[in-house]
Structure 1
């Protein structure tokens, strides 16, 4: 499935008009871990939350930033602001200071924190969506497909409304492979690969990638394989969207589609 820029722009304008009357506030640097864990965790494991200050509860989007699990910073994408959503920008620890599995646990803790505190920010816990770009998309898939991470935080991953990762690694993340001395061009599928945890009862999944000829390494093909395997095991609600003409940095053309998919999935659940 391929899309072009004019379509994105029209979608974006529609959402902007939809939410103009609602007032919003952004609160930054909310800790989601116990301060006794470590100074590094206290520094990194923080959230920025953009939320409506009045009206009914709104769908929640957790946004995990990219950066190869070794860098980057939390963000609330500007395009998602004032669109009738509670948007959460998630910070997390980085390798090599911690292992990749510890970073995945951070993602699960952040998700659980939002579930428990959503009422403070007019968030609708029946409509929680997990998203993010590149490494952030990988984290979104890992905490959803491998249910044990969220189970450890007291939450059932199947209660999520949808997973919409942007150009996610679906084989074992290259930073996890680096921990084992495996080159980034040597594909591996083990317990730290979303593909390893393919299951038919996962929440709806929308996979977004750049152009297959322009993407980072084999990122489009990884996502195409995940989609195929989800369908093979009986998962009924998944799709793959390829943005023609865009490389790995396909965040903007993806954001309007993210909004559209959220709107569609919320209506499906009503």
Structure 2
């Protein structure tokens, strides 16, 4: 038994040492639309770019696509510090913003960015079967829309079910309030239409982890939207839906959420490995 313990300690020490020796590189402002599209639209050319942070000289790593928040009217791409040095590639995405364009254009951009990842990450050493989609608030909404409504990624030639996991932070599950605002619908009037992730609950969707702040501290009814999403996903037969409520944290709950994101990615990767 002592020999086994010593061997295990040696193994984990080696693994930790390997992880620490990974070197990372960042490449910034990569355009994710094709050259013709960029040339045809100056705002796409300016705004539709992403940054990639990835382990150099590594193969088969997982990738987390991170969409920033900002109500579909503001915000900028970021590589969250809490996700660095974990063995993953992290991709921070910019997308077009309202009112310069209709808010729904951001969904098209999110799909184009994720398609870029599927088509390109292997060039950096990443594994296309290990692509996760996450983001905060408006970013969480975008991830849910392209992960549940398959038409957005289908237009890009990608099956949304190839996403390894959807992990939105405080994402809106009803129709986004900026889209409702464009239509003259108040923030306090819930709407579920073709721009609501809830409209697309389905049993065969990717693994789904919903994370929100405290229901009494969150924005509007954000926890309740996510709770309804979790319930309806389970009722339609989805087997991989979980909901976490972070007691004591409001809408800006990213810092306590990041370890949950990392744990969920590792859980799914371990599950995939065990099935091989």
TM-score (norm 2): 0.90
Change (3 A) 1:207 1:16: farther
Alignment correspondent of 1:3:
none
Are residues 236 and 18 of structure 1, via their aligned partners in 2, closer, same or farther at CA, if it must alter by over 3 Å? Answer: farther
Which residue does 1:4 correspond to in 2? none
Q: Are 1:65 and 2:98 matched, yes or no?
A: no
Flag as ranges the 4+ runs of structure 1 deviating above 3 A: 15-18
Q: Distance in 1 between matches of 2:53 and 2:217?
A: 33
Higher-Rg structure is: 2
- State whether structure 2 residue 30 is matched by structure 1 residue 30: yes
The count of corresponding residues between Structure 1 and Structure 2 is 256
Deviations, residues 192-215 of structure 1 (Å, cap 9, x unaligned): 000011111101000000011111
Q: Aligned-pair distance for 1:55?
A: 2.3
Greater RCO, CA 8 A, separation 6+? 1
| TM-superposition CA deviations, 1:109-147 (whole Å, max 9, x none) | 000011111122221101110000000000000001100
Structure 1: runs of 5 or more not aligned:
1-14
Q: How far apart are residue 18 of structure 1 and its match? A: 7.2
- 8 Å Cα contact 1:18-1:83 kept in structure 2: no
Q: 1:91 to 1:25 in 2, by over 3 A?
A: same
Segments of 5+ residues of structure 2 without an aligned counterpart are: 1-14
Question: 2:19 and 2:172 mapped to 1: Cα distance?
Answer: 33
Cα distance in 2, alignment partners of residues 140 and 97 from structure 1: 21
Deviation sequence 1:42-78 (CA, Å, 0-9, x none): 1110000000111222101000000000000000101
Q: TM-score if structure 1 supplies the norm length?
A: 0.92
